[in-house]
Amino acid sequence: MTEFLWRLPSRGDGRHTRPEQRNRGGFGGPAPVTPATDLRPGRFGPFDDLAQIIDAAELAGLDGVLAPYDPDGEESWIVAGGALRATRYSRVVVEFQPAFGTPVYAAKISATLQRISGGRLAWQLAVDTDPADARARGDRVTGDDRYVRAAEFLTVARGVWNETAVPSAGFAGTGFHYAGTHYDVIDGGFRGILSGLPFPTVYLTGDCAAALELSAAHGDVHVFTETEAGVGTAIAALRERATAAGRTVRAGLELPVIARETEDEAWARAERLWREVHPDGPDAREHDLGDGRWAGFAGLGYSATIGLVGSYTQVAHRLSSYTEAGVDSVVLAGHPHIEELHRAGEHLLFLADPVGRTLTEQEATA
């Protein structure tokens, strides 16, 4: 069964491409007043729209959501905590950069979130962040040293984590010691209510050799972004490194989607969004890669450049082809989020993964 996650917005949402016109969530300025607008103050806060998106993801049958790291957007840890509180079944992946805090502190926060959510938290480390963003955070680690630090971060976090319950013993740890380049720990280890919990599934990203080596040694899922040449070679390289390390690492893929009843409807939607930011340039079709993939999503504000455009059947077929190529975790994205989530749940997922998402006759009548 393929895992489908949804990338949450971090700077508001709306029907338009331009950020200043995305009024949902309080980022794009005040929404235009209509006869249906509730003018009473305090009736609808900035988090309410995000909470509806999180609810829509669970109701639509997705397996979880990704709270992305965004230095200019909502704090991913806060969003993840809210998502865990608001859902019952969804996996919540929190993306953060390793300079966020010490690995022991990140692990302690996560232990509490695992307790209150029944073990539904996952991590995605944002290792390769923008250099200007890193400097603004006071982070001096650059280049491949970032991956060295990330490896130490995960080593320490796993080291202090005890999936088997350990009785409390005052301030005593459980004997974990670590002396590295970036972190030092003496007698670390969680006890009591912070022990006996599943460690968060670790998602990692990146296409460089250092990123693949990090995933091979420490990751559970490596999330790729699509390229014109495809991701088959990158997945093979990941599997080769993971096998050499004696581990198995799942392959994931981040894909924005525009799917409609017909291919013409989907391309009409893509063209309308494209024209909002490129009124005089070439048509959206100029970026059509010819096989259901479109290389214009970055121009619409998405984090990934290449995604899928087409009818529900066409997009589902393409998603199935990724599964056949070894991808078993897909991070979907689309805006406006609530509407696109319901489209995905009602018309797309059961076509893309019929075995995992179609009730058998016995289940349907139970």
Cβ neighbour number for residue 284 with a 10 Å cutoff: 23
Residue corresponding to tokens 């080291």: 159
CA atoms of 349 and 358, how far apart (whole Å): 9
Length of the chain, in residues: 366
Rounded distance, CA 280 to CA 160, Å? Answer: 57
338 neighbors 56 (Cβ within 8 angstroms): yes
For the record, the structure tokens of 228 come out as 């014109």
DSSP string over 78-99: HHHHHHHHH-SS-EEEEEE-GG
Mean of per-residue pLDDT scores for the chain: 91
pLDDT digits (tens, 9 = 90+) for 155-189: 999 999 999 999 998 888 899 999 999 999 999 99
pLDDT tens-digit readout, 199-258: 999 999 999 999 999 999 999 999 999 999 999 999 999 999 999 999 999 999 999 999
* Single-letter amino acid, residue 5: L
Q: What is the pLDDT of residues 46-68, one digit of tens each?
A: 788 899 999 999 999 999 999 99
pLDDT-derived band of residue 357, with 50, 70 and 90 as boundaries?
confident
Asked if 51 and 8 count as a contact pair (C-beta separation under 8 A), the reply is no
Categorize the per-residue pLDDT at 286 as very low, low, confident or very high, splitting at 50, 70 and 90.
very high
Using the predicted structure, report yes or no on whether residue 150 has a pLDDT greater than 80. Answer: yes
Q: Which two tokens stand for residue 344?
A: 């995905």
pTM above 0.85, yes or no: yes
pLDDT, greater one: 4 or 364: 4
The neighbour count for residue 76, using CB atoms within 10 Å, is 24
Beta bridge partners of residue 91, listed in sequence order: 64
pLDDT at position 194 over 90:
yes
Model confidence at 130, pLDDT cuts 50, 70, 90, reads confident
Task: State pLDDT tens for residues 20-45.
Answer: 666 665 665 666 666 766 656 555 66
